[in-house]
Amino acid sequence: MSQNVITSPTGHDAHDEHHGPSGLLKWLTTTDHKIIGLSYTITAVVMLIIGGALAELIRAQLATSNGHLVSFAQYNELFTMHGSIMIYLFVGPFAFGALANIIVPLQIGAPDMACPRHNALRYWLYLSGSITMLLGFFTAGGAANFGWVGYAPLTSSLNAPGAGADLWIGGLLLTGFSAIFTGVNLIATIFYLRAPGMTMFRMPIFTWNLLVTAILILLAFPVLTAGLIMLYADRHFGTHVFSVAGGGVPVLWQHIFWFWGHPEVYILALPFFGMATEIIAVFSKKPVFGYKGMIFATITIAALSLGVWAHHMFTTGVVLLPFFSIMSLLIAVPTGIKIFNWIGTMWRGELWFSTAMLMSIGFLITFLIGGLTGIYLASPPLDFFTHDTYFVVAHFHSVVMALVLAAMGGLYFWGPKITGFLLNERIGKAQFWLLFIGTQVFTFPLYILGLQGMPRRMAVYPLHHDWVNLNAISSVGAVLIGISTLLFALNIVVSWKKYPAGDNPWDAQTLEWFTTSPPPHHNFYRLPQIRSERPTWDYNHPEHKSVAHASHEN
């Protein structure tokens, strides 16, 4: 045993977290990636709950054709802030701020992120940006009301004069810089702080996906930041970048926004793909089926994602349709590779249906639906008549709800590593079924509504019998999702410090499960030898090494 372990040269007690402040001051001043990551996690989940509450209001308004719950003006604020909170303040920060921050250094055997103070800065930027955006609700004109995509010139000082719009821009600038710093920090950490033996092709898939995500962040986010500064200048300094009157081009905003926005879709998705990959492998008791194929698929997705932005703009009539169509269709290929890899990993495994595994399978099925409906939208003639209808809304909600399922899987899977305590599995499974069934009940009627011609972002809609029924069913789904979220909160309360996790409760494979739960201040007292992408598994099961299919046939 001992010859497989690199023991820390110094005594480990000296390194424990007893030095430095404690309590609230510790949370405010910390540069420990685990505490910052936990702050990120809590903030992002709070945003999920706020955004979810707004979604419930939207579904309540739409449950009848002529809802009176909110006014037209309030409805525009509702869906704008629902989308903005979910995309900018929940999914993104959760993907690359929360679990990534905690898990990536642990997975590569690093003591912390490469730039710990920088790491703290990005959390505070994120928090202040989030608060800035939410403050819009308390201004005289209300929060931003031009959709989360903010198409010019609806965002001009003429069309959206309120301070809510400025707070939206300010909030996005702050969280945008937070994201850019995240990209820098993740890349530096992954390139420079890997433990001895941790070569690039021994890094876990989750870490690989975060590396690719970080590169995409650096390519995409500065473009959004620049666009936001132009927009702010248009509103306040009299520039005319996006207004026709001064010789500007409104559709330029759409180009800038989607040049960020489409890579952003993968910036959001790749970390969750990584979570699902890790979870499925662990609970199948097998290595990832095509580890290298998975990595190349991730890189291919990232590369293609930079050339597909105008598929959001097919109906503008000012983009080259065939190019963006084939690029978008091609993304189905690496995505398909991932799906087959997940299935291949489960194949001939010993599947343990823990809550985390159920959430990951739920992710897989929901993402399959979102992916298949996405293929239609890559074909311009089919996009023309589904664009801006509920079909699109249903499509991307299938995708993002799949990400929520994966996020929940990630929390059930890695939560014990962070806190040292397991969550209750029975409540967890009930939460899974409500969330999974609720998601399908919520999205399926929306697909049909879109095909029947219901445009998105309508506060009231024509009194068709079908439309009312379909909307009502969808609202029931939203309620189920809401209850599942409450169950999650209940589970935290019920399980509070009740079920000690131990170091490696799932018989998992990667380095983070080699250290204690929660890990000590600088993460590791000792490291195993790293000779594959599964060092902890190799250490615990030296007789069960991975074998390639081809090798046993020869």
Partner 1 sequence: MEKTPLSPQGTRTSGRIGRRLRVLLTIPAAGLLLSGCTLPSFGVSKGVTKSSVQVFHLWQWFSVGAVVIGALVLALIGYAIVRYRRKDESAIPKQSQYHIPLELLYTIVPIIIVIVLFVATLIVENPEVSNPRTDVVVNVNAFQWGWKFSYPGHAVVVVGQTTQSPTMVVPANTNVHVNLTSTDVVHGFYVKEFNFSRYALPGVTNQFTFNAVKTGVYSGQCTQLCGLYHSLMFFKVKVVSPATYDQWLLDNRNVSAATAAANATALQNNPYLSSQSTQSAAN
Q: Which parts of 309-328 interact with partner 1 (CB under 8 A)? A: 315-318, 320-322, 325-326
> How much is the CA Rg of the chain, to the nearest whole Å?
23
247: left (phi over 0), alpha (psi -120 to 50) or beta: left
Total number of residues that touch partner 1 (CB under 8 A): 96
Interaction between residue 385 and partner 1 (CB under 8 A)? yes
Interface residue with partner 1 among 95, 110, 173, 369 (CB under 8 A) is 369
Minimum distance from residue 343 beta carbon to partner 1 (Å): 5
Interaction between residue 201 and partner 1 (CB under 8 A)? no
Minimum distance from residue 75 beta carbon to partner 1 (Å): 8
Minimum distance from residue 339 beta carbon to partner 1 (Å): 6
- Stretch of 4-12, 91-99, 209-217, 246-254 lying at the interface with partner 1 (CB under 8 A): 246-254
DSSP string, 456-479: SS-SS----HHHHHHHHHHHHHHH
Interaction between residue 18 and partner 1 (CB under 8 A)? no
Residues 152-191 that bind partner 1 (CB under 8 A): 152-154, 159
Q: How far apart are the first and last CA of the chain?
A: 32
SS3 assignment, position 100:
helix
Q: Which is nearer to partner 1, 27 or 151 (CB)?
A: 151
Minimum distance from residue 435 beta carbon to partner 1 (Å): 18
| Residue 275 · residue 99 · CB < 8 Å | yes
Minimum distance from residue 64 beta carbon to partner 1 (Å): 10
Interaction between residue 224 and partner 1 (CB under 8 A)? no
Interaction between residue 489 and partner 1 (CB under 8 A)? no
Residue 554 CB burial class (10 angstroms; 0-12, 13-18, ≥19)? exposed
d(CA 380, CA 386): 10
Interaction between residue 60 and partner 1 (CB under 8 A)? no
Give the position of tokens 């990951």: 360
Minimum distance from residue 326 beta carbon to partner 1 (Å): 5
Residues 69-88 that bind partner 1 (CB under 8 A): 71-73, 75-76
Minimum distance from residue 385 beta carbon to partner 1 (Å): 4
Interaction between residue 362 and partner 1 (CB under 8 A)? no
Interaction between residue 387 and partner 1 (CB under 8 A)? yes
- Residue 269: CB atoms within 10 A of its CB come to 24
* Widest Cα–Cα separation across the chain: 75
Dihedral sign computed on CA atoms, order 51, 57, 62, 63: positive
Residues 389-408 that bind partner 1 (CB under 8 A): 389
d(CA 204, CA 282): 12
d(CA 393, CA 449): 10
Q: Which is nearer to partner 1, 46 or 343 (CB)?
A: 343
- Stretch of 21-29, 189-197, 229-237, 280-288 lying at the interface with partner 1 (CB under 8 A): 280-288
Interaction between residue 469 and partner 1 (CB under 8 A)? no
Residue among 101, 302, 291 at smallest CA distance from 203 = 291
Interface residue with partner 1 among 12, 456, 521, 531 (CB under 8 A) is 456
Those residues whose C-beta lies under 8 Å from the C-beta of residue 541, and which sit 6 or more positions away, are: none
Interface residue with partner 1 among 459, 481, 487, 511 (CB under 8 A) is 459
